[in-house]
Structure 1
Amino acid sequence: MTKEPQHNNLPDPDKVKSMFQSIAPRYDFLNRLLSGRRDVAWRRKAVAQLTWGERGRILDIATGTADVALEIARQTAETVKITGVDFSPNMLEIGQQKVRESRFSHRIELKVADAQALPFDDGTFDSTIIAFGIRNIPDRDLALREMIRVVKPGGKVVVLEFTTPQAKILKNLYHFYFLKVLPILGGVISGKKDAYEYLPDSVLKFPTQEEFKGIMSTSGLTNVTYRNLTFGIACIHTGVAPEKK
C-alpha cells in the first residue's frame, strides 16, 4: 500500500484537543468573521454531496459546534438521523445547546469520540462527512479507513478541508492574509494567538488536492474526486465505500 506523503510536524492530538477546548466559546464567531461567512456556503455544498436512504443515518465526524450536523438536518428528510462526534467536550457542549435550540433536536445526537477509533459497528451509516477536521488527525489514513468501515457499501465519504490556491497572485494574497492577518485578528478576539498560528501552519502542511486524492484512494475508497471552492481556498473531496466482495 502506498504511504501517505510525509509532512513534518503532524498534529499532536493532546495539544490540538487543548487548543479546541480553549477556543470553543469564540469558535463560531471567528469562523464567520475570518472566512467572510464563506464557511457557511462551503459546508452547505459539502453536505449536498452526501447520500442516504429511507430512515437513513449520517455520521458527522469532528462535528465541533454542530454546524455540519445541523446543515445535514436541513438538507435531509425528516426520517434521517444524524450522529455527530468530536474529541472536544467543550465544543460539543456548545453544539448541544445549538441542537437543543433548533427544530432538529429529535434527529441529532452528539457524543465524544475519536475519529481514529469510531465507536460504531460496521456499515452503520449511509454516509459520513468530516469538515475542517481531517488535517488535525495524526493518522489520516486510519481515520479514513474508520469512515469507510462504519459506512454501508456504496455509501459516500465526504471530506471538506482548507487548501492553498494555486494561482500565483491569489496564493500570495492568501498567504499574506493567512500568515499575517488571521493570526493577529484571531488571537486578539479569542485570546489564544497560538490557536490561530496553528491554523495556517496546519493548512500549509496539509497535502495538495492530488496528494489527498491519492490518500483517499489508497485507504480503500473508490470513485474519488475533488472540487475546489472559492478559488481553491477550500476543497470538497468525495469517495465511495467499496462494495463487499
Structure 2
Amino acid sequence: MSQIKPYNTQAGKKQEVEDMFDNIAPKYDLLNHVLSMKIDVLWRNTLVKWMNKDAPKEVLDVATGTGDLAIAVQKGTGAHVTGLDLSQQMLNVGLDKIKKLNMQDKITMQKGDAENLPYESNKFDAVSVAFGVRNFENLEKGLSELSRVVKENSSVYILEFSKVEGLLGPLYMFYFKNILPMIGRLVSKDNRAYTYLPDSVNAFPFGEKMKNILLNNGFRKVEYKKLSLGIATIYKATK
C-alpha cells in the first residue's frame, strides 16, 4: 500500500504526504466542501454522535488537518481535544479557525507523526481519524499506535473513504477519477494531490478487510457503518 504516493519521488510516503498537505493547505477546506458537496460535514457529525455515547473527556484527533473533526468532536462531546498532524501549514489554518471560534482552551494543536505518537499509553478516552489512515506510510504501525494511546475498553473512530458498490459504482468512479482531480488541480494548483486521492482510495482496504486489519493490530472488537452508499465508512475499533 505504501507505494501509492502523491508525487512518486525518491522521498518516503510520509514526507510526500507532508509536502502535499503543506502545498494545498490554503485551499483544502474549500475543495473538501465543494468536492463532497458538504456531505463530509454530515459524515463527521455521524462519527461525533457515535463517539458521544462514550462520554469522552480527553480525545486525540490524529491527522487533524485544518481541525474540522477536532472542532466537531469538541462541540459534540464537550471533551478537550488534541489535534495532531504532520503538516504545519494545515495546522496553521486550523489554529486560525480555532482562534476565531475562541476555542483555544478546548483544542490543542500539535505537529507530530501518527506512527510515533508523542503520548503515553492508555492516555485518551477516544481517538478519531478522518481521512488520515489512508496516508499512513505503515498502516499497521499507525493503527497499533492508535490502539496504544487509547484507554482499555475505549474506542478509536476512523472515518475513511471506501468504495461505492452496485449500480452507482462505475458512475461514482468516473467522477472520482476524472472530474474530481480536474477541479482539484484547477483550484489547488497541485497537479498530483487530487490524482493521489482516487489512487490511494483504490488501493486501500475497506469493509471486512479493514475490520480484520484492525483486529490484528490491537483491537478486540470492530464495528463499522457505511455512509452515502459506501463512499465513506466509519470504523469503531474498541481496545
Interval containing the TM-score (normalised by the shorter chain):
over 0.9
Q: Name the structure 2 match of 1:3.
A: none
Q: Name the structure 2 match of 1:133.
A: 132
Divergent runs of 4+, >3 A: 51-54
Quick check: 96-105 or 67-76, which moved more?
96-105
Instruction: Provide the rounded CA distance (Å) in 2 between the counterparts of 1:76 and 1:207.
Output: 29
Q: 1:71 is aligned with what amino acid?
A: A
Gaps of 5+ in 1: 1-6
Alignment of 1:7-46 (within 5 A): 7=1, 9-11=3-5, 12-46=13-47
Alignment of 1:197-208 (within 5 A): 197-208=195-206
How far off is 1:8 after superposition? 6.7
The CA deviation string for residues 34-87 of structure 1, in whole angstroms up to 9 with x for no partner, is 001000001111122225557x2000000000000100111013xx21100000
Matched, 1:113 2:107: no
Give the TM-score taking structure 1 as reference length: 0.91
SS at match of 2:59: strand
Give the TM-score taking structure 2 as reference length: 0.93
Task: State, as a whole percentage, how many aligned pairs show the same letter.
Answer: 38
Q: 2:43 is aligned with what amino acid?
A: W
Matched, 1:214 2:212: yes
Q: 1:185 is aligned with what amino acid?
A: I
Alignment of 1:24-173 (within 5 A): 24-50=25-51, 52-53=54-55, 56-77=57-78, 80-167=79-166, 169-173=167-171
How far off is 1:188 after superposition? 0.4
How far off is 1:103 after superposition? 3.7
1:228 to 210, 226, 229: 226
The CA deviation string for residues 144-166 of structure 1, in whole angstroms up to 9 with x for no partner, is 11111111101111110001111
How far off is 1:105 after superposition? 2.2
How far off is 1:115 after superposition? 0.2
How far off is 1:10 after superposition? 4.1
SS at match of 1:115: coil
Q: 1:94 is aligned with what amino acid?
A: V
Q: 2:139 is aligned with what amino acid?
A: R
How far off is 1:208 after superposition? 2.7
Distance 1:97 1:8, change over 3 A: closer
* RMSD across aligned positions (CA): 1.3
Conserved? CA contact 1:50–1:128, under 8 Å: no
SS at match of 2:168: helix
Instruction: Provide the rounded CA distance (Å) in 2 between the counterparts of 1:103 and 1:45.
Output: 24
Conserved? CA contact 1:65–1:91, under 8 Å: yes
1:185 to 163, 183, 186: 183
How far off is 1:222 after superposition? 1.8
Instruction: Provide the rounded CA distance (Å) in 1 between the counterparts of 2:172 and 2:202.
Output: 11
SS at match of 2:51: coil
SS at match of 1:193: coil
Conserved? CA contact 1:10–1:138, under 8 Å: no
